[in-house]
């Protein structure tokens, strides 16, 4: 079986400007929503108490709300979680009241209203922990960006490093934009998914850059645009198939992973789809605007070709 019967190189770079504009618009829209709507942060970041309660019958949310507000809590969210019988209750952090008292009191009240109420899980996070988590998340992001740029700069060239990071940060911002627009809950696992996607979709750019470098060595007569087009064309089947396989796994998580993994899988899905787009249409184009040249990548190769320890020695056909 072969999905990709491509006769000649697809001129991806001909419309590079259009693609970059599309990216820019999506990117700006994502930033707009991030600022206007903000992320719907989970209890882990904001601090507060989260209770998951299960009932034997489909739960009456208004009744649960009544019980909760009867205890004098304001600004409480009550919603279904996963199924109609499971209810998720979010209480904001309260000063002076310990988590133990809060959740025990609430659970007793819920049991009083409906004896079938069963405690599934309780999460309490103090406000100081939330701030730290947000700070740690940003640190992790900075570490990933710096680490990947450094590696790509050493392995390839700074222009590639810049191109890859811009392309992939744009993916990250777009995922966040989705979460802001739909007000999906942004939790710690989602943060993990976002960072994993960052590492993963850089792969994609790396594969294409690798091919660009190889092409510079192989086809001495092609110009840069042709070389990029050829590199993308010859890796497109691998790009689609690899992402398709990863997406199959993520889809399986979306279907079978339940409510806990739902947003995690959703973040990965968006990340994978935009990962393909950005590495095919954005990363290489940015590298092109930055003006990559044959000389950037194969300086000193004349000497290296006689170097027996070079793994690529004699590899060129």
In the region spanning residues 161 to 180, those forming contacts with another protein, defined by CB under 8 A, are: none
Distance between CA atoms of residues 168 and 42, nearest Å: 25
**What's the Cα-to-Cα distance from 214 to each of 173, 201, 217, 292, rounded to whole Å?**
31, 20, 5, 14
Q: What angle do CA 171, 272, 282 make, to 5 degrees?
A: 45
Stretch binding another protein (CB under 8 A), from 32-40, 68-76, 147-155, 295-303 = 147-155
In the complex with another protein, the residue whose CB is nearer, 224 or 234, is 234
Site for another protein in 110-129 (CB under 8 A): 118-126, 128-129
Stretch binding another protein (CB under 8 A), from 72-80, 176-184, 187-195, 220-228 = 187-195
Site for another protein in 57-96 (CB under 8 A): none
SS3 state of residue 10: coil
Per-residue binding letters, 296-315, with another protein (x by CB under 8 A): ---------------xx--x
In the complex with another protein, the residue whose CB is nearer, 68 or 191, is 191
3-state helix, strand, coil in the chain (%, to 5): 65, 10, 20
Site for another protein in 249-288 (CB under 8 A): 249-253, 255-258, 260-261, 264-265, 268
Distance between CA atoms of residues 173 and 12, nearest Å: 24
Distance between CA atoms of residues 183 and 171, nearest Å: 18
- 151 part of the interface to another protein, by CB under 8 A: yes
In the complex with another protein, the residue whose CB is nearer, 33 or 47, is 47
Rounded least distance, CB 252 to another protein, Å: 3
In the complex with another protein, the residue whose CB is nearer, 33 or 52, is 52
In the complex with another protein, the residue whose CB is nearer, 18 or 315, is 315
Distance between CA atoms of residues 95 and 260, nearest Å: 28
Phi and psi at 221, nearest 5°, equal: -95, -20
Rounded least distance, CB 286 to another protein, Å: 17
For 283-308, letters b (16+ CB in 10 Å) and e give bbbbbbeeebebebbeeebeeeeeee
SS3 state of residue 222: coil
Distance between CA atoms of residues 299 and 97, nearest Å: 67
Site for another protein in 223-252 (CB under 8 A): 234-235, 237-238, 241-242, 244-252
Stretch binding another protein (CB under 8 A), from 4-12, 26-34, 177-185, 298-306 = 4-12
Among 136, 158, 223, 313, binds another protein (CB under 8 A): 136
């Amino acid at each position: 079986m072969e999905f990709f019967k491509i006769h000649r190189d697809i001129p991806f770079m001909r419309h590079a400007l259009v693609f970059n504009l599309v990216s820019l618009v999506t990117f700006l829209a994502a930033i707009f929503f991030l600022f206007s709507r903000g992320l719907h942060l989970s209890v882990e970041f904001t601090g507060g108490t989260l209770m998951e309660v299960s009932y034997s019958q489909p739960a009456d949310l208004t009744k649960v709300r009544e019980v909760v507000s009867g205890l004098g809590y304001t600004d409480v969210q009550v919603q279904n979680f996963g199924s109609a019988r499971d209810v998720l209750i979010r209480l904001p952090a309260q000063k002076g009241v310990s988590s133990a008292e809060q959740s025990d009191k609430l659970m007793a009240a819920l049991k009083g209203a409906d004896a079938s109420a069963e405690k599934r899980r309780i999460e309490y996070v103090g406000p100081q922990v939330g701030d730290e988590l947000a700070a740690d998340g940003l640190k992790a992001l900075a570490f990933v960006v710096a680490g990947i740029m450094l590696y790509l700069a050493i392995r390839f060239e700074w222009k590639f490093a810049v191109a890859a990071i811009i392309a992939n940060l744009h993916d990250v911002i777009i995922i966040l934009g989705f979460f802001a627009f739909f007000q999906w809950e942004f939790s710690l696992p989602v943060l993990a998914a976002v960072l994993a996607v960052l590492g993963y979709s850089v792969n994609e750019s790396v594969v294409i850059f690798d091919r660009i470098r190889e092409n510079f060595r192989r086809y001495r007569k092609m110009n840069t645009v042709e070389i990029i087009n050829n590199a993308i064309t010859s890796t497109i089947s691998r790009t689609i198939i690899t992402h398709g396989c990863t997406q199959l796994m993520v889809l399986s998580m979306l279907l079978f992973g339940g409510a806990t993994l739902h947003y995690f899988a959703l973040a990965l899905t968006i990340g994978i789809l935009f990962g393909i787009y950005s590495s095919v249409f954005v990363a290489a184009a940015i590298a092109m605007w930055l003006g990559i040249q044959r000389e950037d990548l194969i300086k000193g190769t004349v000497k290296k070709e006689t170097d027996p320890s070079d793994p690529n020695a004699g590899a060129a056909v």
